């Protein structure tokens, strides 16, 4: 069973039901069930086989029947009926941030608008503003949403890119005629979004490999199948290219197609300065045309008198200049992580219990876990009231006794909401009871840049604040962050010795990696924040680490690399406690 396709179908069905005016209770039950199924996606197949889907909370016989129907037929009859009745353009309209399913449905019914183009025209002509419940202001918002959606069109988040590319890569590598194969392009550089998927394969049988590639099960259409390159669309979503090269060409092709384009251009110029010519086929002596062999990219870099530059760094952001003088540091590695901070438990909107995290830390070689549930103002995420904070602290104390001999410690943190005026979410004596505080904005996004910047800076200046969480609130490919002067915020954090989080949730990857150097040069420290709501969410730390590698940050820049006592001393020093 294709679980991703199942989840997509369920989500589409929920939205279509909502557009169709189905009972709100039914829609909510459906969305809840979808979330539960997603959380158990690794065991869905087994549960469906043994007829135990209804053992999951919120999953009744109706939902279970639908899962089985999908497993058997690849679709659901109810979904097909709704698809036939509701134009795809109306479904597309629900993806615009300020326009939910209900509004989209009203606009469709009242004005017959069934596409984004028509919606845009009605906004611009002012006809939409006449509709009950609409105004010039909501129309302006919709237009802004459409413009954003257009600028995002055709790109995928990094995690979506990996999810689609990984199985293809495995099949390519297993194919008998393939010697070496890898992903290239922006995916290999771990850019936060990717435009298409690039593969390179070394083979002496390119025709067979490309014919195999274009008939992979995930391919929904073939764009081209030439001598050296084939292009397809994967899952109706994204283009994928494969280039077939010889063993000798392979490292050069990998380097070329990994890019970035700007990085490549600079490398070619450098090669020229040495009397060499560099392209996707190889490195050649100017004049004689003699080919200079290389087994891997490391050797190519060394031919160009450069340190090895990991793919993540290849953005022409100064990495070539550093590599030329031997000053590119060792890339940030997982092995330097001692603690993780920013994870949610059952006390707010997370699934794991405190003990689940302690156990995970023990089996994953992590010494401390900085628990950070939502604070009381974030009601929709079940933020913790004061008495719950006290209960959580007592439970942490008890667990810490139990886990001390296993070398694991849970820290009493909180993800405190930054209130509209920039204050934190609890009275001082409660704030003082936490080991550390991640301060984050979750509300009142619509402030001017000046107001938002002042609000966040005020939170940074609060002596209880240890870390600034997801600095801009951006949701990749969905909405830009709130308006804020990021450099002013970073300066303020540096002055106040508040660390800035690199939020590893692949929907956020916030703060943006392009600002990491700026922050580090001012002496700012960073944290890796998985922002986990499940145990598997802890693995999102991988994305944050990739962002650190993109900016060649080192372990001394990152608070997660401190031992637990050093980290606690750092947080205490901020509050005027013991100096760090």
Q: How far is the CB of 415 from Zn ion (least distance, A)?
A: 5
DSSP 561: G
Q: How far is the CB of 372 from Zn ion (least distance, A)?
A: 9
CB nearer to ligand DGT: pick between 268 and 479: 268
CB nearer to ligand DGT: pick between 284 and 445: 284
Q: How far is the CB of 193 from Ca ion (least distance, A)?
A: 10
- Strand 409-417 to 156-157 pairing: unpaired
Q: How far is the CB of 419 from Ca ion (least distance, A)?
A: 42
The token duo for 362 is: 């023990």
Out of 132, 137, 153, 261, name the contact with ligand DGT by CB under 6 A.
Answer: 261
Buried b (16+ CB within 10 A) or exposed e, 32-65: ebbebbbebeeebeebbeeeebeebeebeeebbe
Q: Which residues contact 374 (CB under 8 A, 6 or more apart)?
A: 344, 348, 349, 381, 382, 383, 384, 415, 417, 442
CB nearer to Zn ion: pick between 249 and 415: 415
CB nearer to ligand DGT: pick between 47 and 230: 230
Out of 182, 241, 249, 312, name the contact with Ca ion by CB under 5 A.
Answer: 241
Q: Do 504 and 515 meet the contact criterion of CB atoms below 8 Å apart? A: no
CB nearer to ligand DGT: pick between 40 and 303: 303
The token duo for 355 is: 């003990």
Q: How far is the CB of 324 from ligand DGT (least distance, A)?
A: 19
Round to whole Å and give the CA distance between 179 and 186: 23
CB nearer to ligand DGT: pick between 196 and 249: 196
Q: Does 160 bind Ca ion (CB under 5 A)?
A: no
The token duo for 183 is: 């992903």
Q: Does 264 bind ligand DGT (CB under 6 A)?
A: yes
Q: Does 186 bind ligand DGT (CB under 6 A)?
A: yes
Q: How far is the CB of 259 from ligand DGT (least distance, A)?
A: 2
What are the residues binding Zn ion (CB under 5 A)? 440
Q: How far is the CB of 198 from Ca ion (least distance, A)?
A: 5
SS3 73: helix
**Which of ligand DGT, Zn ion, Ca ion, none does residue 440 bind (CB under 5 to 8 Å by kind)?**
Zn ion
| Binding to ligand DGT, residues 161-180 (CB under 6 A) | none
Longest distance between any two alpha carbons in the chain, whole Å? 79
When CB distances to ligand DGT are compared, the closest residue is 259
When CB distances to Ca ion are compared, the closest residue is 185
**Which of ligand DGT, Ca ion, Zn ion, none does residue 257 bind (CB under 5 to 8 Å by kind)?**
ligand DGT
CB nearer to ligand DGT: pick between 159 and 208: 159
Indicate the helix (H) or strand (E) that contains 458: helix 449-461
- Strand 282-285 to 276-279 pairing: antiparallel
Round to whole Å and give the CA distance between 412 and 399: 12
CB nearer to Zn ion: pick between 440 and 472: 440
| Binding to ligand DGT, residues 192-211 (CB under 6 A) | 194-196, 198
Round to whole Å and give the CA distance between 144 and 152: 13
The token duo for 79 is: 């979904």
Out of 115, 260, 364, 496, name the contact with ligand DGT by CB under 6 A.
Answer: 260
Q: How far is the CB of 381 from Zn ion (least distance, A)?
A: 8
Round to whole Å and give the CA distance between 437 and 429: 13
Q: How far is the CB of 81 from Ca ion (least distance, A)?
A: 38
First to last CA, the chain: 53
Indicate the helix (H) or strand (E) that contains 277: strand 276-279
Q: How far is the CB of 117 from ligand DGT (least distance, A)?
A: 25
What is the residue whose two structure tokens read 């002013």?
488
CB nearer to Ca ion: pick between 225 and 444: 225
CB nearer to ligand DGT: pick between 158 and 439: 158
| Binding to Ca ion, residues 334-373 (CB under 5 A) | none
**Which of ligand DGT, Ca ion, Zn ion, none does residue 259 bind (CB under 5 to 8 Å by kind)?**
ligand DGT
Round to whole Å and give the CA distance between 572 and 580: 8
Q: How far is the CB of 196 from ligand DGT (least distance, A)?
A: 5
Out of 220, 265, 269, 327, name the contact with ligand DGT by CB under 6 A.
Answer: 265
**Which of Zn ion, ligand DGT, Ca ion, none does residue 260 bind (CB under 5 to 8 Å by kind)?**
ligand DGT
| Binding to Ca ion, residues 164-223 (CB under 5 A) | 185-186, 196, 198
Round to whole Å and give the CA distance between 209 and 251: 18
Query: 375 φ, ψ to 5°?
Result: -90, 175
Contact region with ligand DGT (CB under 6 A), list: 5-13, 164-172, 210-218, 261-269? 261-269
Q: Which residues contact 200 (CB under 8 A, 6 or more apart)?
A: 181, 182, 184, 242, 243, 245, 250, 253, 254, 257
Handedness of CA 532, 535, 28, 10 (dihedral sign): positive
Out of 162, 190, 250, 257, name the contact with ligand DGT by CB under 6 A.
Answer: 257
**Which of ligand DGT, Zn ion, Ca ion, none does residue 510 bind (CB under 5 to 8 Å by kind)?**
none
CB nearer to Ca ion: pick between 194 and 468: 194
# binding residues, ligand DGT (CB under 6 A): 13
Spell out, one character per residue from 128 to 147, where the chain touches ligand DGT: x when CB under 6 A holds, - when not: --------------------
Round to whole Å and give the CA distance between 255 and 452: 42
Task: Work out the number of other CB atoms within 10 angstroms of the CB of residue 512.
Answer: 17
Round to whole Å and give the CA distance between 43 and 39: 9
Query: 305 φ, ψ to 5°?
Result: 55, 45
Q: Where are the alpha helices (DSSP H) in 126-260?
A: 127-130, 136-152, 158-174, 185-188, 206-214, 250-258
**Footprint on this chain of Ca ion (rule: CB under 5 A):** 185-186, 196, 198, 241
**Footprint on this chain of ligand DGT (rule: CB under 6 A):** 185-186, 194-196, 198, 256-257, 259-261, 264-265
């Amino acid at each position: 069973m294709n679980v991703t396709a199942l989840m997509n179908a369920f989500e589409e069905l929920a939205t279509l039901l909502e557009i169709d005016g189905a009972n709100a209770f039914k829609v909510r039950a459906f969305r809840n069930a979808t979330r539960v199924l997603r959380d158990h996606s690794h065991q869905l197949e087994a549960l469906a086989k043994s007829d135990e889907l209804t053992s999951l909370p919120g999953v009744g016989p109706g939902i279970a029947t639908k899962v089985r129907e999908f497993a058997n037929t690849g679709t659901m009859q109810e979904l097909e009926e709704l698809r036939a009745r509701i134009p795809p353009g109306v479904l597309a309209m629900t993806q615009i941030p300020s326009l939910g399913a209900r509004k989209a449905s009203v606009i469709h019914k009242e004005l017959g608008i069934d596409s984004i183009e028509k919606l845009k025209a009605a906004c611009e002509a002012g006809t939409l503003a006449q509709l009950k419940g609409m105004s010039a202001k909501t129309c302006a918002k919709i237009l802004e949403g459409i413009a954003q959606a257009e600028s995002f069109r055709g790109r995928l988040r990094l995690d979506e890119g990996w999810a689609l590319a990984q199985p293809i890569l495995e099949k390519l590598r297993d194919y008998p005629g393939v010697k070496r194969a890898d992903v290239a392009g922006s995916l290999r550089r771990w850019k936060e979004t990717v435009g298409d998927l690039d593969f390179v394969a070394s083979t002496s049988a390119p025709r067979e490999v490309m014919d195999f590639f274009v008939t992979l099960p995930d391919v929904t259409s073939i764009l081209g199948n030439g001598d050296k390159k084939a292009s397809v669309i994967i899952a109706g979503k994204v283009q994928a290219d494969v280039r077939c090269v010889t063993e000798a060409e392979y490292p050069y092709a990998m380097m070329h197609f990994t890019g970035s384009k700007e990085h490549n251009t600079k490398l070619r110029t450098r090669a020229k300065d040495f009397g060499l010519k560099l392209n996707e086929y190889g490195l050649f002596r100017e004049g004689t045309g003699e080919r200079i062999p290389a087994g891997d990219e490391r050797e190519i870099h060394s031919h160009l008198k450069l340190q090895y530059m990991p793919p993540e760094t290849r953005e022409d952001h100064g990495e070539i200049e550093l590599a030329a003088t031997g000053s590119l540091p060792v890339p940030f590695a997982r092995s330097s992580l001692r603690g993780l901070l920013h994870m949610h438990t059952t006390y707010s909107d997370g699934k794991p219990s405190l003990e689940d995290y302690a156990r995970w830390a023990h089996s994953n070689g992590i010494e401390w876990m900085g628990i950070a549930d939502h604070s009381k103002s974030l009601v929709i995420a079940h933020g913790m009231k004061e008495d719950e904070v006290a209960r959580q602290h007592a439970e942490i104390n008890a667990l810490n006794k139990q886990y001390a001999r296993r070398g694991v410690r849970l820290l009493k943190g909180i993800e405190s909401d930054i209130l509209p005026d920039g204050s934190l979410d609890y009275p001082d004596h409660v704030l003082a009871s936490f080991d550390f505080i991640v301060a984050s904005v979750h509300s009142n996004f619509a402030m001017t840049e000046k107001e938002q910047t002042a609000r966040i800076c005020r939170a940074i200046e609060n002596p209880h604040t240890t870390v600034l969480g997801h600095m801009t609130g951006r949701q990749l490919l969905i909405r830009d962050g709130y308006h804020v002067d990021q450099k002013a915020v970073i300066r303020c954090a540096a002055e106040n010795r508040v660390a800035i989080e690199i939020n590893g949730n692949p929907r956020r990857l916030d703060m943006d990696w392009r600002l990491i150097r700026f922050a580090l040069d001012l002496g700012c420290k960073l944290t890796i924040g998985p922002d986990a709501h499940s145990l598997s969410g802890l693995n999102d730390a991988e994305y944050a680490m990739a962002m650190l590698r993109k900016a060649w940050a080192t372990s001394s820049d990152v608070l997660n690399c401190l031992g637990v006592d050093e980290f606690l001393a750092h947080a205490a020093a901020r509050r005027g406690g013991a100096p760090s």
